[in-house]
Homo-oligomer: A and B are copies of this chain.
Amino acid sequence: MTKIEALIDKIIQRVNINLRELEFDVNPYIVNINLKCRLSKFYAFYGITPYHKLSFKFIHSSLAGSYFLGKSQIDHSVLYKSDIRGDELKSKGTTYKHKNYEIPVYNDEEIQITDSILIKTLVHNFSHNPENLEIFYIKNTVSTHFANIHGSPTEGCFLGPFSTVDLTTIHDCVIGEFSYIQVEDLAHKRVNPGTIKVRYKNIFDFHYQFSKEILKKYIDFDSKNLPVGLFMDFVENRKVDFENIFEVITREHSVSIPDNTALDRYAVVRGQTRIGENVLVAQRAYLEDASLGKGANVQENCYIINSQLEGYDITAHGAKIINSRLGENIFVGFNSFVRGKVDKPLIIGDGCIVMPHTIIDLEEPLIIPSGFIVWGYITNKEDLKLNGMPIESFSNIKNEFKLGSLKFTGNGGIFIDSFKERIEHILQANGAFFNTSNNDDYGGHAQKNQNISFNTIQPYPGGDLKGIYPTMEITP
């Protein structure tokens, strides 16, 4: 048994012991993915900038194709083409507010990934665990293709493909494919595939369940097969474009960008693409015939194809926008799939909220009016009636509300307000509102991520340690 095989085995054992109550065995999933053979093929890379805390520890891990920015420690783990983005970690000296508590942060927060396997997973933002402010930990966890771990400490869990855990602390859970969970805490639970849940104490509970038939078309996954479906085909078909950009050391994009915009060197840009001011295009983003207005952002694993974003639009991690015309101030949530037809583009009016994990896949022309919130599965006007409504109406929900497969309990006003507040924060953090005349404002990601050096690192090329990376410690 080679060192890499022993490492994978050890991680699986750790995860399985945590999932024993749920009688879940991670092993066949990992066997299917045939990870071992892929781990020597790709380099990993970490970013160096004047603006982000520089601190990396890589200890006896395999990091093929993964990306690191900010303070992180990876220990006895396998990260395959995963993005560890620490550019919003809490800083030493700041204060974290939790209910009535104001807790000072003693040390720069660090992402710690221990005894875990992450496959094409995004880890971002800062930990929402008030008990352990300085550490955003992922431990004894296996996460699969295009999962998002967003500010969510995670221990002993299995995350299915295209699932998202957002601002949630989870212990010993199995999160089904394409499920979105934002629920503060979750322990010893098995979340069915296609569950969308946003809950905050007894104040609100947004719950939507995709049907098995629809889910199967887009993403299908079990212990006997690799993930398949339209989502997988979509990304696989565009993989070769990324391979080309990872093959060169330095790279100039063919598109010109304004001074206050960041276009990552690991993004793909094709066709007639136009990029405005204060825009962030992150690594592994894909633009083709895209027009991005001022303050728009396109985050990791997002695709904007033959589409226009007028400005101050958010495309959250993993969202895809195809053949669409978006107005201003539109939020498209994690892993959403938003597709018009070439000759029948989807029109989304100003100020709309597309909930995380929404699928809009049109079979006829559709206009989503300004100020709408949409969720679930929409292919035509009829679907929109059951999967969307004016934000204002949603705000007026006082207690219980059912529509199609949505069940909402609690206060719609607080739900919408907290969403809007978050959207504002995301735009701010991404530098959408940056103004050079404001001297004491250093901007957000669109400004700070403009000039990143990337170091590329590789594993042992042969011998017993083949596929394992040397131990590295990088500090300022």
Contact = CB atoms under 8 A, between A and B. Distances in A.
Nearest to A458: B453
A470 B476 contact: yes
A472 B471 contact: no
A250 interface: yes
Interface residues of A, number: 34
A458 B455 contact: yes
B475 A474 contact: no
Contacts of A472: 472-475
A5 to B, nearest CB: 17
A248 interface: yes
B246 A470 contact: no
A268 to B, nearest CB: 16
A249 interface: yes
Contact of A247 (B249, B461, B470): B249
Contacts of A451: 461-462
A332 interface: no
A272 to B, nearest CB: 27
B248 A50 contact: no
B453 A459 contact: yes
**How many identical chains are in the complex?**
2
Contacts of A476: 465, 470-471
A48 B249 contact: no
Interface in A32-90: 43, 48-51, 54
Contacts of A459: 48, 453
Nearest to A54: B470
Contacts of A474: 470-473
A15 B143 CA distance: 54
Contacts of A456: 249, 455-456
A452 interface: yes
A247 B252 CA distance: 12
A457 interface: yes
17 contacts: A43-B249, A48-B460, A49-B460, A49-B462, A50-B466, A247-B248, A247-B249, A248-B249, A249-B249, A451-B461, A451-B462, A452-B461, A453-B460, A453-B461, A471-B476, A473-B473, A473-B474
**6 shortest interchain CB distances as A-B pairs:** A50-B463, A453-B458, A455-B457, A453-B461, A473-B473, A451-B461
Interface of A: 43, 48-51, 54, 246-250, 451-466, 470-476
